[in-house]
């Protein structure tokens, strides 16, 4: 397949005065990465989110005592980043952000702040002050990681009417109703997972029928069936690790292939990407491959479904894998981009 290069944005751990948000061009035929632009965004602009319709990206910046959201316009030809606006995110330590399907709202999960916030977006890409900040409550059984709430991600569901927020600290997925008329979100359901699981990220298949929750603390993926009213019902659960594994591990990212046939998950510690085949309401393990680096905090599948890009934080690089669309098998290819402490890559 021959086509125009894709542009992607990268968030990182970085010092307040260092370049921390980058753009790259991605060759759709080879997966090759070419650096385009970099900007200083503040301390640790770790997670970035793209606007669904326009050339804007939003960076969650871990300033104190309250985080910042910085909005950048992206030139889709040159990758040049231009600051559009900056606003406080609503709580401490924003770790994840996403934009709804309409492009009207940004949602932010705050890990240390124990909160989720909703921020309106302007037609010019600007981000306004939060119209809703909801504090979570509760804890769970892990004495080190679960003494208080830790929302780890916030993503609108397939129909854009509910927001799903896995809380690592309380072993719950909080389902919010998105209420655009009031610029508000309200708790709709609270879905419990096994104590000590540590839910982190949730990804839905392309038809929206099933959701896949990666659990950081017990290295598992839980399969949920999604009801029309937004509720989640657990169907099955599978480990990301072999039965004889005895080391330390924390999972990080989960993503569904655009075909809906495969689910990928990352292991940090074991430092692998695991491939599962979707089999109805279950997952079937079909492969595992080293990430070519250490601590794969995030990965992204290309829009064509042909490549997978792994952000290896501790070895300062992004490694590229070819995806066999017929089998789901991953093969590392000879493409790598040096980036200091990369955290995520999102398509513009």
Per-residue pLDDT of 136-149, as tens digits, reads: 999 999 999 999 99
Q: What is the mean pLDDT of residues 226-254?
A: 97
Backbone angles phi, psi at 29, to 5 degrees: -90, -35
Confidence of residue 339 (pLDDT cuts 50, 70, 90): very high
Q: What is the pLDDT of residues 163-178, one digit of tens each?
A: 999 999 999 999 999 9
Q: What is the pLDDT of residue 5?
A: 87
With 70 as the cut, is the pLDDT of residue 123 above it? yes
Q: What is the pLDDT of residue 1?
A: 38
Distance from C-alpha of 309 to C-alpha of 322, rounded to nearest angstrom: 9
Q: What is the pLDDT of residues 38-50, one digit of tens each?
A: 999 999 999 999 9
On the CB side of 52, CA atoms within 13 Å amount to: 12
CA nearest neighbour of 29 among 6, 54, 61, 62: 6
| Percent composition of the chain: helix, strand, coil (DSSP 3-state, to 5) | 0, 55, 45
Average model confidence (pLDDT) across the chain: 97
pTM: 0.97
């Amino acid at each position: 397949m021959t086509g125009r290069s894709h542009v992607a944005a990268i968030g990182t751990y970085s010092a307040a005065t260092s370049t921390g948000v980058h753009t790259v061009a991605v060759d759709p035929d080879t997966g090759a990465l070419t650096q385009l632009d970099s900007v200083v965004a503040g301390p640790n602009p770790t997670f970035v989110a793209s606007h669904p319709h326009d050339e804007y990206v939003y960076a969650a910046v871990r300033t104190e005592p309250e985080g910042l959201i910085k909005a950048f316009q992206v030139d889709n030809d040159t990758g040049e980043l231009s600051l559009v606006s900056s606003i406080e995110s609503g709580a401490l330590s924003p770790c994840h952000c996403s934009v709804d399907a309409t492009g009207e709202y940004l949602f932010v999960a705050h890990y240390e702040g124990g909160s989720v916030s909703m921020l309106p977006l302007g037609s010019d890409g600007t981000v306004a002050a939060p119209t809703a900040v909801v504090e979570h409550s509760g804890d769970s059984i892990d004495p080190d990681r679960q003494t208080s709430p830790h929302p780890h991600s916030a993503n609108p569901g397939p129909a854009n009417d509910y927001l799903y927020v896995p809380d690592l600290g309380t072993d719950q997925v909080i389902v919010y109703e998105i209420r655009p008329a009031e610029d508000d979100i309200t708790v709709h359901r609270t879905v419990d997972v096994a104590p000590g699981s540590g839910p982190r990220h949730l990804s839905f298949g392309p038809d929206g029928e099933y959701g896949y929750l990666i659990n950081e603390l017990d290295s598992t993926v839980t399969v949920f069936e999604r009801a029309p009213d937004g509720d989640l019902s657990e169907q099955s659960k599978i480990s990301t690790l072999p039965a004889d594994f005895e080391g330390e591990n924390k999972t990080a990212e989960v993503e569904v292939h655009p075909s809906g046939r495969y689910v990928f998950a990352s292991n940090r510690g074991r430092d692998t990407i695991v491939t599962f085949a979707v089999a109805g309401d279950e997952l079937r393990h079909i492969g595992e491959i080293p990430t070519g680096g250490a601590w794969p905090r995030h990965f992204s599948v290309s829009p064509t479904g042909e490549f997978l890009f792994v952000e290896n934080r501790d070895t300062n690089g992004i490694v590229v894998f070819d995806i066999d669309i017929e089998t789901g098998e991953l093969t590392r290819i000879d493409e790598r981009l040096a980036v200091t402490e990369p955290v995520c890559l999102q398509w513009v």
